[in-house]
Homo-oligomer: A and B are copies of this chain.
């Protein structure tokens, strides 16, 4: 049995704790958080739920806190044995170099407490301070998920940035569409089948190979008419830049 401590009680910690709890050959030993209240949800999963200073040593210690808190929190851990890992997309592995055995265990998914996650389908990006530590993380990775990939700090940083485009920016495009529907009092539901198809195409093809629309065709008449229909200057800007980016990408420079 490999014992695991988790430090942190946010969304990622919550889903990670459940996945570790359910994994064979791993036991969730302790969860540490700043307040009694934040620890409540974890009480049924871990043997210890406590203040960080009272944690007892485990084989693996996962620091699952906000990026800027990782170093500070790591310094408070009252033991030095085992492997210490964080789960951030953008923080370097070096943040934990004060521990001999350290690494990164980054689950590439968007977590919220209310939406259940099938952890088996969450890609885990791993990086470690030594080959044997990498093996430890790989084993843990495959106990929780079907997809585990060794990814360097540089690669992980770019992946994290790419995730902003995949999730944050596409979702804001959906939000603008939702606003346009609201303006005309038509239900956004009319666009949901298209949204679904858009995602399905990008799931099974290279996104660049399934691009369509006026910007791809460099259809300046439609583009001008669309910009004209937008009353919000910020939405106009978004429309202009994305159209320019698409037209440029497909090689039909203005």
Binding site for B on A (CB under 8 A): 67, 90, 108-110, 112, 115, 121-123, 125, 147, 149, 151, 154-155, 157-159, 161-181, 183-199, 201-203, 206-208, 210-216, 222, 225-226, 229-230, 234-235, 237-239, 241-242, 244-246, 248-249
Q: Are B195 and A199 in contact (CB under 8 A)?
A: yes
Copies per complex of this chain: 2
Indicate whether A197 sits within 8 Å of B158 (C-beta atoms), given known contacts A177-B165, A178-B206, A190-B125. no
**Nearest neighbor of A206 in chain B, beta-carbon distance:** B178
Kindly list chain B residues whose C-beta atoms are within 8 Å of the C-beta of A190. 108, 123, 125, 147, 149, 151, 159
Indicate whether A159 sits within 8 Å of B191 (C-beta atoms), given known contacts A164-B213, A165-B180, A207-B178. yes
Q: Are A211 and B158 in contact (CB under 8 A)?
A: no
Kindly list chain B residues whose C-beta atoms are within 8 Å of the C-beta of A239. 164-165, 169
Q: Are B202 and A172 in contact (CB under 8 A)?
A: no
A230–B160 alpha-carbon span in the complex (Å)? 12
